[in-house]
Amino acid sequence: MSRTGKKPVAIPAGVTASIDNGQVSVKGPKGALSIPMADEVSYSLEDGNLTITPANATKRARAFWGMQRTLVQNLVTGVTEGYTKVLEITGVGYRAQSQGKTLKLQLGFSHDVDFEIPEGIEIKTPDNTTVEISGIDKQKVGQVAAEIRRWRKPEPYKGKGIKYRGEFIFRKEGKKK
């Protein structure tokens, strides 16, 4: 039994949720998001709460139950607060600069890396070594952060590269004489 799925998703004031045409749609102050409804679970909207229950007693329905509830909760959180991921760049000469719809990264290659910022994502660079990625879609924010990080993953000897804020880099000892 899903413990997460049992909890209803609270719809705060200023946010409207609707269930129609096989979609769960949520509109709020930051924008609108929607996800397709899974056939394995049933959705019901009553008195400011969205409740998700399994449609039948199969193992697949119970597996989808908690995941669908979390996806709907992510929609509600996204349109009210939004999501932010912070990347930190470590290394001599490594820096980032946001210029309009592109993020210019200098990561020790012979050329600069120009990363095109997708729609619905906002990237800020408060300083040369910090990149803040924000948006209302949790999946999109995480995907953009992962794509930027992929250019130069942190290495275990000096810790150079792009890492998430708060990420622990397992450090190795260098070779000895």
Residues 101 and 115 in one domain: yes
Q: What is the mean pLDDT of each run of 10 residues along the chain (177 residues)?
A: 82 92 92 92 90 90 91 94 96 93 94 94 95 96 96 94 94 88
Would residue 57 count as lying in a domain? yes
Whole-angstrom distance, CA of residue 46 vs CA of residue 170: 48
Residue 1: per-residue pLDDT: 57
Would residue 172 count as lying in a domain? no
Residues 14 and 63 in one domain: yes
Neighbours of 34 (CB within 10 A): 16
Note the Cα 43 to chain centre separation in Å. Answer: 24
Say how many domains are in the chain.
2
Residue after which a domain boundary falls, among 31, 52, 80: 80
Whole-angstrom distance, CA of residue 34 vs CA of residue 121: 17
CA quadruple 152, 104, 106, 94: dihedral, nearest 10:
-80
Residue 23: per-residue pLDDT: 92
- Which DSSP string corresponds to 112-170? -EEEEPPTTEEEEEEETTEEEEEES-HHHHHHHHHHHHTTSPPPTTT--EEEETTPPPP
Residues 89 and 69 in one domain: no
- Identify which of 151, 154, 156, 167 has the alpha carbon closest to the alpha carbon of residue 107: 151
Residues 91 and 144 in one domain: yes
CATH value at residue 99: 3.90.930.12
Residues 96 and 154 in one domain: yes
Residues 40 and 10 in one domain: yes
Residue 155: per-residue pLDDT: 94
Residue after which a domain boundary falls, among 80, 95, 125: 80
Would residue 70 count as lying in a domain? yes
- Identify which of 175, 87, 158 has the alpha carbon closest to the alpha carbon of residue 127: 87
- Identify which of 119, 32, 13 has the alpha carbon closest to the alpha carbon of residue 75: 32
Residues 59 and 97 in one domain: no
Residues 73 and 101 in one domain: no
Residue after which a domain boundary falls, among 45, 60, 80: 80
Please give the residue range of the domain that contains residue 49: 3-80
Q: Is the pTM of this model over 0.85?
A: yes
Whether the CB-CB separation of 163 and 90 falls below 8 Å is answered with yes
Would residue 55 count as lying in a domain? yes
Residue 2: per-residue pLDDT: 60
Whether the CB-CB separation of 161 and 154 falls below 8 Å is answered with yes
Which residues are paired to 134 by β-bridges? 84, 122
